Structure 1
């Protein structure tokens, strides 16, 4: 990624296209955590990459491109939310990618119910804790990248993720005992 950032800084359109192709999927899923409207999410994604290109000459040599794009996506998404004064829905399809086509109907139903509960539980976590957890676990970002995106220390991010895991495990344990 560092090499890609340097090439973008040098106005290489192929590097820009490579960055877009590599990160558009994870970024759009991240944006959709804030903005449930698909069209608006893609508008934010477009704005982020346009801003990246427009500001490419001001990028430093040590720029973490992934963290920069996630930060830009987060900030732009929050601006859209503020402007529209509405809350984002959690995209449950990202939480669990169920690819077992030969699962029984009961297993699929059980996965669906569990996915709905996890979505509900994530929605009840404090917002910063939920965001740190989702960035770390569902977007495979390092604590340092999450810290950069959220403007927190790595230790705070780690604490948020650990508390989220503790909370979700407790909810899951209680849920399984009820079954």
Structure 2
């Protein structure tokens, strides 16, 4: 059935441009699960991934008259999803490295699962390097970036001043980036693991 829908995608696009909600629903059925899976690999959150897919399709519907694609919406939808992912993580962690990581993955095909292995290798290397840092930096990074505690909460938990927490976090992240070398752009994955 999906093959049949794909064969009719140019007609669906034309109908969508003319305001057909039925065509919109068919396009949603064709792409929503793939966009959700793509988003989930980055967000690690079902709820966030669902929101991103909803936002993408709301934007597609709102801008349907401006669609230039005639044969397939695949590239457009994945590019839109990529931008929503970048915006979501900029808001959350304000790190431009995430955009570089998304761009890197996007260049290696959104259907290519090989980066899953890279991610696992990165996580293993990251954890090994994290263990080489001073104990306070390890704790602060783990509480801040993995467990998402605020600096004040960390200060209370570890009986430190907020300034000490900020300093230890900054020093620890700098050391991690240096030790990860060329994998430094993946450091941002720490925030979503």
Q: What's the TM-score, normalizing by structure 1?
A: 0.51
Task: Provide the residue aligned with 1:26 in structure 2.
Answer: 34
Distance 1:84 1:63 in 2: 35
Is residue 37 from structure 1 mapped to residue 12 from structure 2 by the alignment? no
1:71 aligns with 2:79: yes
Equivalent positions of 1:145-164 (< 5 A) are none
Q: How does 1:28-177 map to 2 (within 5 A)?
A: 28-60=36-68, 62=70, 64-85=72-93, 128-138=103-113
Deviation at 1:136, TM superposition (A): 4.0
Unaligned runs of 5+ in 1: 88-125, 139-160, 172-179
- Whole-angstrom distance in 2 between the partners of 1:8 and 1:43: 22
- 2: CA distance between counterparts of 1:26 and 1:86? 26
1:63 & 1:35 partners in 2: Cα distance? 30
C-alpha deviation, 1:3, in angstroms: 2.0
Q: Distance in 2 between matches of 1:33 and 1:59?
A: 27
Note if 1:7 corresponds to 2:15: yes
Q: Structure 1 residues 27 and 17, CA, compared in 2 at 3 Å: closer, same or farther?
A: same
For residues 109 and 69 of structure 2, the distance between their equivalents in structure 1, rounded to whole angstroms, comes to 28
SS in structure 1 at match of 2:19: coil
Conserved? CA contact 1:34–1:81, under 8 Å: no
* Whole-angstrom CA distance in 2 between matches of 1:64 and 1:19: 10
Determine if contact 2:86/2:102 at 8 Å carries over to the other structure.
no
- How far the C-alpha of 1:127 sits from its partner, in A, is 5.7
Q: What is the deviation of 1:133?
A: 2.9
- Alpha carbons 2:40, 2:49 under 8 Å: kept: yes
Task: Report the CA distance between 1:37 and its aligned residue.
Answer: 1.4
Aligned to 2:163: none
Deviation at 1:2, TM superposition (A): 2.1
Larger radius of gyration: 2
Greater share of helix residues, 1 or 2?
2
| RMSD across aligned positions (CA) | 2.8
C-alpha separation in 2, matches of 1:20 and 1:127 = 23
